[in-house]
A and B are shown apart, each in its own frame.
Chain A
């Protein structure tokens, strides 16, 4: 299968705001259930082990007109909660029986309450991810949180989830993590061969497909990409930072690439790469998931960095590992985590003389020309003067 064919399928999935693939999966056999989750991270292994399909809800994008959702949010709140509400109020999520809202920010946190009040028939759970990374403190808490989520899922399915079920799901997701890491590494090695739009679409596909199908898709893409040689351009290698929750329009991502940038790392759809190492697939599964969370979680704006000296080091490491020449901070308007974090990261990059620029977007941003010009000037300035 060619990369074009695979990406065409991903594009269709990305544009489908009725989540037909997930609906078809649910309808294919009796007793199947779909559980939605918001960015940034939930342990999808729990949903999978319960025999359910995790469905990543990343807002409505730029192809959906938000009418009802706007009545729920003031103008100074970001767009993802209003478009997510629009998805629900317009019936696009009427097949979703549970929703998990991870602790990313106050807006998504409060959206869990909005869901409780407006969708009384849906199982709603706020997943409080620990900000204390000690095993006996945050770890114990997280195990209990996961136990409660599992109990909620078991309530929907009427089926007990065993430790073996969980270990099996860990194995399936470990393989997914392997493939995603391989994809990102391949892009670092040959960014001209694996464009950022394709990586992005592949990551988004993982939000709506069963993980087994996503694994097959990634395998096929990696093979196809390795057999294809695309022309190498004199582009600048950059990292995109700040796009972990509300998603940029695809046109924005394309514009950055077309402006002369090779994106060699990013933080969109972080759930696919949240755990930097695989989870132990023997012993007590919940403990393993918890330990992996504490030990291997990526550093991001939505989390606390306990060690002052380590603040921003993940970005410096990423720059080193990917050979990036600059960083583009691209955050959604009104995004507290990204925008509050940004000045600290900018300081750290400035201290290391790493070029960077900042701009904001919304998921329905329509004007790409200014972004293209800004990113293009940034890329040119690096080529000319760095």
Chain B
């Protein structure tokens, strides 16, 4: 039996090692679920549902409302192996098998009492803040929730970067919507008047946290990389992409995280995996596409068992991209919210996305590109095969393609994915030898 197969028999149910930052994040998430559960009992606590890409957290926090992120609920439920049943529940109630499983996991959870991943009831929405950024499905998702909850909904249409640029009229359009639609809706629902100075303060906090996040992600340029920029970074972006960006808690979290990663850099360590230190770094990969959450640890293990570390990923930019210089700007509060939305990864056109991957391949000295194509997500997936060929052509490095799903366990075939990955690592070895 090979070493890798022996490692595969490690009991994955044992407790993972946790850093201080992870404990902090867990407390933050738990705290938000507590608020959502309390809001279920107290009608004065207002709840706003919104999406990760294009989330207007700094603005939402100006109104003392509790934020809820259905995508986050779905992915956390998937990690707890609950979404298979949720998806089937939604399909039994009329949702088609072909459509996004995030939506179906959310609808299934709702139909089963809206018990969130923390085991507590998630309060119903007072407002659905539909930030239509980079994903068509968002629009129908919140129409479906509105159909069920009969609550107020406000839409923010964020134009797509079809020509790979942000024009004045695109920005003006978003700012006008913020002024005329989003802010009045939040004021109406919360009963709190909008205070632009409060927004500026939240934006200042965001910028501090963003600075630390970028420092963390850029350490992956080092050899060995002290972090895994996909499996690990999914946790790192958690507070930034959800209910916490713009809060002092998030700033503290990223300060702690940076201190931990900086320490790893000083000690020349590689990434921490659920089973401890990764060991020798053998392959440096760039990954495009979301992960599979239903078998996340099995999936990750297929990488670290082989000494493969992800040095850059696009999924960790889906809720905002800060590495090319954008920071929330308190001096231009509404314009900066618009620019943030434009710069969420799936709002980039395909040439931009391809250029970004090429940049990662070069800057992070990657051995290859891996695309995890998600059955549910056309926003990510449509066009990925071309992107793969483009990167191979431009960099001369090998690329590979695996197919799974975000939260539907029916679309994760461990043996197929593992076989592909093993072949891919062999391909990288052969390329190296040939070079």
Q: Is A340 close to B, CB under 8 A?
A: yes
Interface centre among B130, B136, B155, B373 (most CB of A within 10 A): B136
Q: Is the CB of A304 within 8 A of B351?
A: no
- Determine which of A71, A106, A140, A342 lies in contact with B378 in the assembled complex, contact meaning CB atoms within 8 Å: A106
- Determine which of B99, B132, B137, B147 lies in contact with A131 in the assembled complex, contact meaning CB atoms within 8 Å: B132
Contacts A136-B176, A347-B147; A73 near B137 (Cβ below 8 A) = no
Q: How long is the Cα–Cα vector from A238 to B384 in the complex, in angstroms?
A: 40
Interface centre among B96, B354, B373, B403 (most CB of A within 10 A): B96
Near B by CB (< 8 A), chain A positions 95-112 give 101, 103, 105-107, 109-112
In whole Å, how far is A244's beta carbon from the nearest beta carbon of chain B? 14
Q: Mark B77-118, 1 if CB is under 8 A from A, else 0.
A: 000000000000000011110111001000000000000000
Main secondary structure on A side of the interface with B: helix
Q: Is the CB of B177 within 8 A of A132?
A: yes
Q: Is the CB of A131 within 8 A of B139?
A: yes
Q: How long is the Cα–Cα vector from A360 to B99 in the complex, in angstroms?
A: 13
Q: Is the CB of A144 within 8 A of B155?
A: no
Q: Which residues from chain B contact A138 at a C-beta distance below 8 Å? A: 157, 173
Q: Is A159 close to B, CB under 8 A?
A: no
Q: Is the CB of B173 within 8 A of A137?
A: yes
Q: Which residues from chain A contact B98 at a C-beta distance below 8 Å? A: 76, 333-335, 339, 360
Contacts A113-B350, A128-B160, A344-B147; A137 near B379 (Cβ below 8 A) = no
Q: Is B45 close to A, CB under 8 A?
A: no
Q: Is A67 close to B, CB under 8 A?
A: no
Q: Which residues from chain B contact A339 at a C-beta distance below 8 Å? A: 96, 98-99
Interface residue ranges, A against B (CB under 8 Å): 71-74, 76-77, 81, 101, 103, 105-107, 109-114, 116-118, 125-128, 130-132, 134, 136-138, 140-141, 144-145, 148, 301, 304-306, 308, 311, 331, 333-337, 339-344, 346-347, 360
The 8 closest A-B pairs by CB, nearest first: A113-B350, A126-B162, A340-B140, A144-B169, A141-B173, A343-B94, A110-B382, A131-B157
30 contacts between A and B (CB under 8 A): A73-B382, A73-B385, A74-B385, A77-B378, A77-B382, A106-B378, A113-B351, A113-B383, A116-B351, A117-B351, A117-B354, A117-B386, A117-B390, A126-B160, A127-B162, A130-B157, A132-B173, A138-B157, A140-B169, A308-B146, A308-B153, A331-B96, A336-B378, A339-B98, A339-B99, A340-B96, A340-B103, A340-B143, A343-B93, A346-B94
Interface residue ranges, B against A (CB under 8 Å): 93-96, 98-100, 103, 130, 132, 135-137, 139-141, 143-144, 146-147, 150, 153, 155, 157, 159-160, 162-163, 167, 169-170, 172-173, 176-177, 180-181, 349-351, 353-354, 373, 375, 378-379, 381-386, 390, 403
